[in-house]
A and B are shown apart, each in its own frame.
Chain A
Amino acid sequence: MNMRRILDRVWLGLAVAAVVAALAPLASIIYYVTVKGIAAISWNFLTHNFDQVGNNGGIANALEGTFLVVALASAIGVPIGLLAGVYISEYATGRSADVVRFLSDVLVGIPSIVTGILVYSAIVISFPTPFNGYTAFAAGVALGLMEIPIIANTTSESLRLVPNSLREASAALGIRKWRTIFLMMANCLGGIMTGILLATSRVAGETAPLLLTALGSTQPFQGWFNAVETMTLFIFQNGTSGTPNLVEQAWGASFVLLITVLGINIAIKLVTRRRIVFV
């Protein structure tokens, strides 16, 4: 038989095998997290705070902490990211748009643990008491710093897709630039919102920067300038504890976190055609 034909089949078969190899880990993760996690889920689990010794503990304080920290992160990241994105798309001249977008891309690629170190050195050890130390505030700032470039990029890309004819029409009517921009944003609101949603779900799943800023806690929220627990820290600390009861709870928390994050991403993918990989 023709050697070239055989080799052709082999190569094409390898490509298919690669796809299987890429999909298998996802399937495995979803399977095990669901199977092992469901066992831990109960109303108690979702509504009780962490209980070190007893059997009645749960992820309530972790959920609370994640929610609050991510809220602060978005409060910082969304306005700055949005307007930076507006700058790149609407105000910058050719060269500076490229430069700022380039730098924004570089920021996206900085490891999250390095962001944690930045906030650690700028806030955790440097702020005056009582604002220093491991705090929910520092955690929010760290995650906010991560959100900024993501949202800036998605916003500027969304605005780019709005046709120029709309801008010209608006300007020709004598409408001020800032109002025009709001009009543009209204026109690509879907893209902007999904960008924000994706950035938010991305930072909600982060752990590394929180090690150096939030530290983790067994208590419910004690104020912005105290340590705080999040879902990701919960999974990390309990998953590596070796205690079966705690490990099981870690699976439960993983389940909740995973379906939330994957759910948001799948929903976005279904509604838009947007790619969810940040490059």
Chain B
Amino acid sequence: MSAFPAGRGRKGAFADDVFRGLVFLFAALIPLILAAYLFELGSHSIPSINAFGLSFVFGSQWNPPREIFEVLPEILGTLVSSLIAIAIGVPISLGVAVFLSEISPKGPREIISAIVELLAAVPSIVFGFWGLVILVPQVVRPVEGLLQAALGFIPLFQHAASGYDLFAGGVILAIMIIPYVAAVSRDAMLTVPRSQLEAAYALGGTKSEVIRMAVFGYARSGIIAGVFLGFGRAIGETMAVTLVIGNSLQFAPSLFAPAQTLASLIANNYGETIGTVPVAALIEVGLVLLGLSLLANFGARLILRRFVRRGAQML
């Protein structure tokens, strides 16, 4: 008769049930937490929704002393800065992804990949602080000067360019989304079957032509999902943007005007908000931001799940 502790008998079954119950309970928390976001933010915004209705998102006055809360400038700031981030960050990310998947020899590939990913590990406040003290004065301001000299006749580039503005926000967001977009794009590119590449080479394509036709074509969905993901990341970033974007409550249609995002608005009003309506308004800002980010992330996730193999994500 073996003494093997196979957990037979009622005691074993009970432990199994308890464990199972715990596991189900904790797993259920995930959808519950998501629901909590919607419920809590929704219900606590009600005083503000009642007070302002749609003008919350269509009006342009954020005026705490007068208790008027409208966030259109911040919505625009969020969207535009994120679009700038995409415009600058995605080409760089794709270049990195192409380099890592198609050009780099095996050895450097791992190391460079790792270093690029390290960018994602830098705490956002450190990013912001570095942006405030180094990036803007040393890089953004001179670049803005050049842009203004060359393109100053376009209204988009007109404004006293202090460097702490919408453009700087976009630039720092671009840097921050690079590891995400590059990682997802690289994974997508690595799933392109060798036979596709061979077919393109056999037709007499140069390396860059083959990449354009076979790699980008085949990996297109994965890359697009990566871009959505990067966009979602950009709209939610708070600290780095707050420190460089200039924090103006107006939205001027210029890259070089100071601006505000939904996230930086919250960051600038923390700790000072009292009163039912102001508090509700602050929470409603969070609700709007949640909505935007859910849209972007939902879209990305759906594309990712359908077109990129699960295995490729867990390297």
Contacts and interface: CB of A to CB of B under 8 A. Distances in A.
* Direct contact between the two chains A and B in their complex (CB within 8 A): yes
Interface of A: 4-5, 7-8, 11-12, 14-19, 21-23, 25-26, 28-29, 32-33, 79-80, 83-84, 86-88, 90-92, 98, 100, 102-107, 109-114, 116-118, 120-122, 125, 134, 145, 148-149, 152, 157, 161, 173-179, 181, 201-202, 204-208, 211-212, 215, 232, 235-236, 239-240, 247, 250-251, 254, 257-258, 261-262, 265-266, 269, 273-279
Contacts of A11: 208, 211
Given A114-B293, A121-B44, A279 B118 contact: no
Interface string B115-139: 1111111111111111011110000
B183 interface: yes
Contact of A33 (B29, B98, B126, B135): B126
A23 B44 CA distance: 43
A110 B290 contact: yes
Interface string B82-117: 000000000111111011000100000000101111
A176 B15 CA distance: 9
A266 B236 CA distance: 26
A250 B125 CA distance: 11
Interface stretch (B17-25, B69-77, B191-199): B17-25
Interface stretch (B140-148, B151-159, B281-289): B281-289
A23 B263 CA distance: 27
Nearest to B17: A178
B149 interface: no
Given A111-B236, A148-B29, A86 B23 contact: yes
A207 B30 contact: no
Given A5-B206, A25-B119, A177 B20 contact: yes
Residue of A4, A7, A110, A274 with most chain B CB atoms under a 10 A cut-off:
A110
Contacts of B19: 177-178, 181
**For the complex, would chain A's binding face be called helix, strand, loop or mixed by DSSP majority?**
helix
B197 to A, nearest CB: 15
27 contacts: A15-B98, A19-B99, A22-B96, A22-B178, A23-B112, A29-B122, A33-B130, A102-B305, A110-B293, A112-B236, A114-B293, A118-B40, A118-B286, A157-B314, A201-B121, A204-B123, A206-B123, A207-B123, A211-B266, A239-B125, A247-B133, A254-B129, A261-B121, A273-B315, A277-B179, A279-B183, A279-B229
Nearest to A92: B27
Interface of B: 4, 6-8, 12-13, 15-16, 19-20, 22-24, 26-27, 29-31, 33-34, 36-37, 40-41, 44, 91-96, 98-99, 103, 112, 114-130, 132-135, 175, 178-180, 182-184, 206-209, 211, 229, 232-233, 235-239, 243, 263, 266-267, 270-271, 279, 282-283, 285-286, 289-290, 293-294, 296-298, 300-301, 304-305, 313-315
Nearest to B211: A11
Nearest to A88: B27
A83 B20 contact: no
A57 B134 CA distance: 25
B188 to A, nearest CB: 11
A134 B180 CA distance: 33
A18 B238 contact: no
